[in-house]
Structure 1
Amino acid sequence: MNPQTPLLELRAVHTHIGAYHILHGVDLAVPPGQITLLLGRNGAGKTTTLRTIMGLWQASRGSIHCAGQDITALATAQIARLGIAYVPENMGIFADLSVKENMLLAARQARRAAQIDAQRLQWIFGLFPALEKFWNHPAGKLSGGQKQMLAVGRAIVEPRALLLLDEPGKGLAPAIIDRMIEALVQLRSSGVAILLVEQNLHFAQRLGDSVAVMDNGRVVHAGSMAALAQDAALQRALLGLAL
């Protein structure tokens, strides 16, 4: 794919949830092999955007394309099979299952843990050593940071072209945030595109290549993360606070 061609593109996307009109014509482009930050105040429509991309909520107007394919009307399972993974804010961990069993559920090509791609699993253990340490422990017994690592590890247990993450830094200790940033940078280096919703602006500043800022269900600013990080006045205008 041409690096100038977006891997993911939303064109004038509207989403209704019941009687509520949440997204009002979202235009968004996610380049291949980059980390794109989606910022905005609470209630701006960021999570709805991710859920609409994944088909969990259907767009009522507009279109969503991934790698040139129109995915607007596809079911969530079909979208996942195209190499798109989603880690929601609540992480979606199966608390009563072990770390191993959580990972196995996501590895669609494997029926037993021994059938998970060993090289890929070792790479994930390198990113998140706690997953190997607690491999046979119930996922519900993990700390918040370890659960977040499991959620991301599960999302990448198979190769992905695009990873959607909803606030992976929320509530994490600084040392865990550093580990998460390191892992996401490695994922980007491996060619994975990442669309990341984040409220922790320092986390965002350290990671983002490009940024889109949402307000009232629309993208009101798009550009480089570096440019936004250097412009305190623009930050205040868009977000109500400065990095």
Structure 2
Amino acid sequence: MTTPLLSLDGVHTHIGHYHILQGVDLTLPRGELTVLLGRNGAGKTTTLRTIINLWQASKGRIVFDGEDITHWRTPRIVSRLGVGYVPENMGIFSLLTVQENMRLAAATRHIDTSRLEWIFGFFPALKKFWKTPAGLLSGGQKQMLAIARAIIEPRALLIIDEPSKGLAPAIVKDLSQAILELKQTDTTILLVEQNFGLAQAVGDQVAVMDDGRVVHASSMAELTADTPLQNRLLGLSLEAHA
């Protein structure tokens, strides 16, 4: 079995008076893509934000490559460990150009030319609109920019929250291909995704959340092959929503 890059052990998170995560156990195998599934409100986004300490875990441990990072501050997690995060709202600067958005995401504000060309191979539209304000991009192009910003530096772990939300099927297909190509690098990926066709196409492992806990973890192939299990865990089948 692949050595885990990241593990959550009994993680709880409170937001105000609300007890959102109620003992999350999650393991990310190194070099693989794990999809986090679950109904709305199950705790998926809270799990992502807790991993990078945007929201502080109130109990439990988060271990990255053998080191307890539960109480590390977010900038230290991002810079020291090489973690990229693409939030559901994309987090781009609408008034800045694509180039300026990318430059801000680079650690030294200097973009490595060869890495940029590698990114353009995934997202050629970004090269076309390099000098265009990001706010003028289409929804799919903004999502491409959000992911490109997260990988402008080499990442050990890339966390992506619902990248296909609101995108046309053709753009989702391009996004799927880009993620598949990213999997060929050394980057471990944690993906929250409601598009089950995309999840099935790119996922190696899957964890299903409900009521603030992980209630199922397996290979994606195992879940894909078991329609009754899909219905029991998610109230639907992957095939019906592909």
TM over 0.5: yes
Q: Which runs of 4+ in 1 moved over 6 A?
A: none
**1:159 aligned residue (137, 154, 159):** 154
2:122 corresponds to? 127
Structure 2 runs not aligned, ≥5 long: none
| Structure 2 match to 1:117 | 112
Q: Select which of 30, 33, 36 maps to 2:34.
A: 36
Moved more, 181-190 or 148-157: 181-190
How many angstroms apart in 2 are the aligned matches of 1:99 and 1:180?
A: 18
Q: For residues 180 and 191 of structure 1, what CA distance do their matches in structure 2 show?
A: 19
Stretch of structure 1 that moved more, 170-179 or 231-240: 170-179
Does residue 12 (structure 1) correspond to residue 10 (structure 2)? The answer is yes
Question: Which of 221, 229, 238 is the aligned partner of 1:226?
Answer: 221
Residue 105 of structure 1 aligns with an amino acid whose one-letter code is L
- CA deviation after TM superposition for structure 1 residue 179, in Å: 1.2
What does the per-residue CA deviation read over 1:213-240, in whole Å, with 9 as the maximum and x for residues that have no partner?
Answer: 0000000000000110111100010001
| Distance across 2 between alignment mates of 1:52 and 1:13 | 9
Q: Aligned equivalents of 2:111 and 2:190: distance in 1?
A: 26
User: Which residue is 1:61 aligned to?
Assistant: 59
User: Residue 166 of structure 2: which of 151, 161, 171 is its match?
Assistant: 171
Letter in 2 for 1:198: E
Matches within 5 A, 1:43-192: 43-81=41-79, 82-110=81-109, 115-192=110-187
**1:173, CA displacement in angstroms?**
1.2
How far is the alpha carbon of 1:4 from its aligned partner?
2.0
Aligned to 2:236: 241
1:208 aligns to 2:203 (yes or no)? yes
How many Å separate the matches in 2 of 1:177 and 1:11? 33
Tell me the SS of whatever aligns to 2:92.
Answer: coil
Q: Mind listing any 5+ residue stretches in structure 1 that lack a counterpart?
A: none
